[in-house]
Structures are given as structure tokens and as C-alpha cells.
Structure 1
Amino acid sequence: MACSGCYSVNFMAVSSNPNKPLTSSTLLTSKLSSSYSQIPFSSLNFNSKLSRIQLHKSNTAPNSFVVVSGIKAEPLKVMISGAPASGKGTQCELITKKYDLVHIAAGDLLRAEVAAGTENGRRAKECMEKGQLVPDEIVVTMVKERLSQPDSQEKGWLLDGYPRSSSQATALKGFGFEPHIFILLDVPEEILVERVVGRRLDPVTGKIYHLKYSPPETEEIAARLTQRFDDTEEKVKLRLLTHNKNVEAVLSMYEDVTVRVDGSLSKEDVYTKIDTVLRNVLGQRQAAIVLLVFPCDMFGISTA
């Protein structure tokens, strides 16, 4: 087969045209027969839906072809777990601000159903008031639908407070949703109870305050704050029993990607630790992009 510019071979890879000017200080240099070819890294065009290799003849290595193979890393997928009031909401706000992930809070999805007065919401409220887990058939469907939406698929997602049982984790895996990292916030029980009992909701803005740690800015806001029905000491202790009973089973399914973080630290210190973990994950995934260079005779192509 004679060379006439560009050939295609079925394979999961992409290419870069080495005839472009060398405008980047970062170069890929590979030995081709007795010649060398340099490819500007910035000129690579990665695509998540790859279907073929493009073979381009190189002016710097006239008797060879350059094949650059790369696979784009998937958007970041993160699960964060912890007992009620472990600080998940606060950390999720900081994470999404920096990493632009889609924040999906299973608790918020459930409370929206409760507020809307749907049949699923009524059933969910009965379970929540007893400190029990909401049936999987209700919550799994809501979470699956949210994870499947285009913004979650394109930007990546941060799943907050879910899964809460091994059956939920199994259901998610069955749908193809698995995290790159699973973050668990560890907080002593006495601190958790204090955090929950002092929480208050602003029904106008939806913002969560704490009477001790994060009080409202004005008397006007303070006057309209309400306590969520599941934020009493009695109910939080029931929820903690349920959480402790199920968390180890969930962790066993994600043990290879689980990182424990001390959630009793200040929110700034907790975030610093989480940010370090996420940057490491991204760095490892970016480093996994493969660049390969092959001589043309490997594909039986003549340069004559």
C-alpha cells in the first residue's frame, strides 16, 4: 500500500499531524528507524469517542509514519459519604465550586419528593421519621435518572450521601455507575448529635444554618428559621444507628477507592485533605493517557 497522506486502521486511538509547527515546549520524541520525530503535545486532539488510528507521514522522519494513540479520561466521578451532620453538604459545596462537578444529593432528591407530596414522597417521609432507609425502589430510580442526565455525563458528578446500603451500591453498579474515589467523613457521634440538633433551615433561601457554628446573619433571617422534621436528637440517633449498621457493607464494595477523612476538623482543614485526594486522582488519570509511536512497516505500509 503506497502512502498518500493519511490511512486508517480500526483501533481505539487518535492522531496528531507532525507537520504542524512546533509551538509547544512539551514535545514527544520517539525513535523511528534511524530518525527522530517530535510532536507538540498541545496539538493533540483527544476525543472520548475514538474509533480509528490516523497515520500521518512525518517530514522529520521521511521513511516512517507517526501514530499517536490517546484515550481521554472520563469526567471525574466522586462519592462522598458520612453520618448525618458529618459535613458532607459543606464539603460538596467547596468541591463543586472548584471542580465544577454536578452535585447530586440523595437527601435533597428525597426531600423534594416529600415537599411535592407525591406517593413516593409520602412513603419516604414515613421511613425518614422512623430513622429507616427509604426503600431502594424509590431512591435508586431518582438517583439513576439524575446521574444519567447530560450535565452529569459531560461534567462528571459528586454523589452526596448515597449509596447508603450494599443493595443500593449493587444497584448503582448494575446501572454502570461507579466512582473513581469514595470519600468517607469520620466524625465522633457526640459531635454529630450536637451538629444536627443545632441545624436550622431558612425556608426562603434553602440555606442551612447552625445556631452555634454558623448563626444567621440578621435577626430577620433568625426569626424565620425552622428545624427540619428529621433533625431532632431522637431521630438523629435512630439515623446514626442505621448509618453505622450499613456503612461498612457499603465501604466493602468500594474498598479499593475509599479514602477516610477526619470530619471533626475545621471545614477548611477537611477540604484541604479532600482537595489533595482529588488532585491526586486527576493527576493519576491524566498520566494514564497513552502516547505511542510505531514504524510504518508494522502495518505493512510502504513509503515508496
Structure 2
Amino acid sequence: MACNVSVVHQAMASAVAQPNKAPPQLPCAHLSSSSNSKPKPFKLLRSSQSSFASTFSPSRPQTLIPSRSSKAPNFLVVGCGKVEPLRIMISGAPASGKGTQCQLITQKYGLVHVAAGDLLRAEIASGSENGRCAREYMEQGKLVPDEIVVMMVKDRLLQPDSQEKGWLLDGYPRSSSQAIALKELGFKPDLFILLEVTEDILVERVVGRRLDPITGKIYHLKYSPPETQEIASRLTQRFDDTEEKVKLRLHTHHQNVKAVLSMYEDITVKINGSLAKEDVFAEIDSALSRLVEKRKSTSESLAA
């Protein structure tokens, strides 16, 4: 049945004159010859033909006519889907290589690196009350209370750059309570990477680790020595990078890692962190690439 477009125009004009009111129900919402017949949807005309949008004139009544072409209109479908940024967690014992791998991951995938340890050390350096409290726990090889760390991590993950580019959360959560807190705040990773390294290698890595206070670069006296004597002379050792303290930290890590893994069991990828850093990254890169491709495929399907 034909639809009188002049009535449509009157309804549209009324909507423009009263923008705060809900749009009216147009009288040609259903085109049927009787109440028992099913409405027939209109097919859009080809771009080479005159379309309703280009020929509509309020000065004369018009009729919408369903296309009788047997062929489907050849329209380009433009998708509005957007690929969501990656949300990755990486975990491992002290000196398992998280910092090195995080650097390689962020270089390739552009994620924002959020290291809970760095947030804590910055708080300690500021001399705040939370910083002094955190230092006491860290010196004893214990986990810093959740109420101190969780809010720092939450605030960083909510920053615009983390929301836009995606984030790589380094060394957090370290306990089931921290994992639960993040979940309740709405932070769920797409992938949880666990670096596994034997304890004797971990101790050797920690004890030989040094920090350049000017550049922030991490060196190792055996595996990655400083380039010049000038750099070597200014290197410092973190207060908790001693053999005694690292063994306490390893004990705490092993006690809590199983509980954390139980929260992310279905998205966990375990990587042998004892390998060369290039080989470790190759495995991580493979897992992330699969995730990116899957996400792109899903986005394209939704946009089609």
C-alpha cells in the first residue's frame, strides 16, 4: 500500500519545531493491505537511481515504492566497530625478566606500562606516609597492604593514555585479595603472562642487578654490565636486592602465585623465563599476535 509522504513531512516538521519532545510515530511505519498480511520491508534503490533522500520534496505528495529488482542492492557497508585496546598482565618472581619483556612488548604493541613496583618506589621516594609504611613491609620481604597499592594501580589504569592505548600491568596482582580487588573495580585482563624461572637463577639475577639513577636503566654486573666506567661509578643497588631479602620475596611469591593463577586460569600463558630474552619475547609475541588477530576478526564481523 502507498504511503503519503506529505503526512510524513508534517510529522517531521512538528518534531523540528519541538526538539525536546519524543519523535512521533510516523503513519507509514507498517505498510500492509490488511491487518492479517505481513509488512514488506523496503529495499534501498541503487545509487545510480533516484533515491527518496535526493528527490523528496515537501511541496507535493510522493509514494514510496518497494524495489522490484531481483538482485540485492550493491551497497558498501561501513562498519562502526572499533578494536578494543589490549589489557595484559605479566607476572613472575623478582628478576624473572618482567621489566625486559615489558619494554619489548610496549615497543611493539604501544601499551602503557604500569609497574606496581615503580608506583610503590615513587611513593617511597616522595617520603609520604604511605611510602614509609610500604618501605617497612618491603624491607621485611612482605607484600605491601592492598589498601595502599590497589588505589595507586586503579588511578594509573584509569588515566586517559591507559584507556586509549591499552595497558600492560607489570607484577600485579600478587595475591588473591589484590586480584579480587581489581576484578571488583572492573579491571579484567585479556591475557595473563607468567614467566617461570628457577630459584638459583633468580637469586643470581637479583644480587647482580644495578640501577642507573640518572637514566633509570637497569644493568647487571655479569649479564649486562655498564658501557662506561662513568656509568659504573654511579650505579646503585636497590635496598631490597640482597640475597637475604630476595629469598624472602621469593618465598612470599611462591605462596601467593597459585592463588592468583586460579583467578586467571583460562587466560594464562606460561613462558620459560630462563631462555634468552629474544626467545622469551618470541613466545609472548606469538600469544599477543593471536589475540590481536582474533580481536580484529571479531570487530570486522560485528561491523559487517
Could you say whether these structures have the same fold, taking a TM-score greater than 0.5 normalized by the shorter chain as the test?
yes
Deviation at 1:36, TM superposition (A): 3.6
- Counterpart of 1:135, as a letter, is P
Residue 203, structure 1, aligned to residue 239, structure 2: no
Match of 2:116 in 1: 106
Match of 1:243 among 223, 230, 253: 253
More strand by share: 1
Match of 1:118 in 2: 128
Match of 2:140 in 1: 130
Deviation at 1:241, TM superposition (A): 0.3
Q: TM-score if structure 2 supplies the norm length? A: 0.76
Match of 1:83 in 2: 93
Match of 2:84 in 1: 74
Residues in 2 aligned to 1:179 and 1:122: alpha-carbon distance in whole angstroms: 30
- Counterpart of 2:71, as a letter, is S
Deviation at 1:226, TM superposition (A): 1.0
How many residues of Structure 1 are paired with residues of Structure 2 in the alignment?
A: 244
Deviation at 1:45, TM superposition (A): 4.6
Match of 1:185 in 2: 195
Whether contact under 8 Å (2:83, 2:295) holds in the other structure is yes
The SS at the match of 2:119 is helix
Whether contact under 8 Å (2:210, 2:236) holds in the other structure is yes
Residues in 1 aligned to 2:4 and 2:222: alpha-carbon distance in whole angstroms: 77
Deviation at 1:39, TM superposition (A): 5.2
Q: What are the superposed Cα offsets for residues 192-229 of structure 1, whole Å, 9 maximum, x if unpaired?
A: 00000000011111111000010000000001111100
Deviation at 1:72, TM superposition (A): 2.5
Deviation at 1:126, TM superposition (A): 0.3
More helix by share: 2
Match of 2:33 in 1: none
Q: What are the superposed Cα offsets for residues 29-77 of structure 1, whole Å, 9 maximum, x if unpaired?
A: xxxx942455557xx352xxxxxxxxxxxxxxxxxxxxxxxx4332100
Match of 2:71 in 1: 35
Residues in 2 aligned to 1:239 and 1:287: alpha-carbon distance in whole angstroms: 42
CA, structure 1 residues 98+38, in 2 after alignment: closer, same or farther (shift >3 Å)? Answer: farther
Residue 271, structure 1, aligned to residue 281, structure 2: yes
Residues in 2 aligned to 1:292 and 1:253: alpha-carbon distance in whole angstroms: 32
CA, structure 1 residues 131+34, in 2 after alignment: closer, same or farther (shift >3 Å)? Answer: farther
Residues in 2 aligned to 1:190 and 1:19: alpha-carbon distance in whole angstroms: 71
Whether contact under 8 Å (2:111, 2:168) holds in the other structure is yes
Residues in 1 aligned to 2:281 and 2:234: alpha-carbon distance in whole angstroms: 30
Please tell me whether Structure 1 or Structure 2 has the larger radius of gyration of its CA atoms: 2
CA, structure 1 residues 292+235, in 2 after alignment: closer, same or farther (shift >3 Å)? Answer: closer
Whether contact under 8 Å (2:106, 2:112) holds in the other structure is yes
The SS at the match of 2:224 is coil
Whether contact under 8 Å (2:89, 2:192) holds in the other structure is yes
Deviation at 1:186, TM superposition (A): 0.5
CA, structure 1 residues 19+105, in 2 after alignment: closer, same or farther (shift >3 Å)? Answer: farther
Residues in 2 aligned to 1:268 and 1:187: alpha-carbon distance in whole angstroms: 15
RMSD: 2.3
Q: Mind listing any 5+ residue stretches in structure 1 that lack a counterpart?
A: 9-17, 21-32, 47-70, 294-304
Q: Percent identity?
A: 69
Whether contact under 8 Å (2:79, 2:303) holds in the other structure is no
CA, structure 1 residues 2+118, in 2 after alignment: closer, same or farther (shift >3 Å)? Answer: farther
